[in-house]
Amino acid sequence: MREDINRKEANRLLEYTMGIINIKILSNEFRETQGYKGETGSYHKIVFQVEEDDVDPDIFAIGILFSLSSMSFAYAAPRGCSENEFIPDEKWRLGYFIQGLELECGKLHFSSDYISGRMMKTEIIYEPGGKVTLTTVNRGRNADRWMILLQGKHALKVVNSQRDIKNGNGQLRKDNGHIKKADATDI
């Protein structure tokens, strides 16, 4: 069976980016905000620099934007009325990525609000020279996990025995209680 070109190229972008590049976190700002109807919201902004000695860091621009947007989608869940448009097994597609991509004042800019019923609320700006600003709204500290995965590190989490947990698609699943390694394959 032939692999869909969309999926093949998406996998290639992830493979050539995640765990390959060296980055330095310049700032990591998180704050809780007043949300809708008294709910608690959040604002998270991470600024990092791609540090590559042998090559121009800008060759990683599309891969970084695609990888971070893919993780945003994978860890997003429906919110409010968006649940009506939610497709549980939907995968991040190049088409979704391209729809959110723009070139503004010489900077590559990706932004998304809701896609396929998922609340993404993510903005990523890649500046020439490798400076990247990742901003999320109402996503908690999810972007910290994305940075770990982007660097090729693994996030370990303890999962309690026989507990319902939400996966990246917002669906509940049972787990038998052990330490799980979260990595790029979870996307």
Delimit the domains of the chain by residue range. Answer: 5-154
What is the rounded average pLDDT of the residues 120-138?
95
pLDDT at 68: 94
Rounded Cα gap, residues 108 and 98, in angstroms: 11
| 25 — pLDDT class (breaks 50, 70, 90) | very high
Give the chain's largest Cα–Cα span: 51
Instruction: Return the SS3 of 43.
Output: strand
Each residue's pLDDT tens digit, 45-98: 999 999 988 888 898 999 999 999 999 998 888 877 767 778 778 888 888 999
Rounded Cα gap, residues 165 and 183, in angstroms: 17
110 with 69: CB under 8 angstroms? yes
Pairing of strands 118-127, 131-137: antiparallel
pLDDT at 93: 85
Percent of the chain with pLDDT over 70: 80
- pTM of the predicted model as reported, rounded to 2 decimal places: 0.76
Instruction: Return the SS3 of 35.
Output: coil
Rounded Cα gap, residues 18 and 16, in angstroms: 6
Rounded Cα gap, residues 56 and 48, in angstroms: 16
What are the residues whose beta carbons fall under 8 Å from the beta carbon of 68, sequence distance 6 or more?
A: 110, 122, 124, 134, 146, 150
pLDDT at 116: 85
* Average per-residue pLDDT for the chain: 80
Q: Does residue 36 register a pLDDT over 50?
A: yes
Q: Does residue 16 register a pLDDT over 70?
A: yes
149 with 183: CB under 8 angstroms? yes
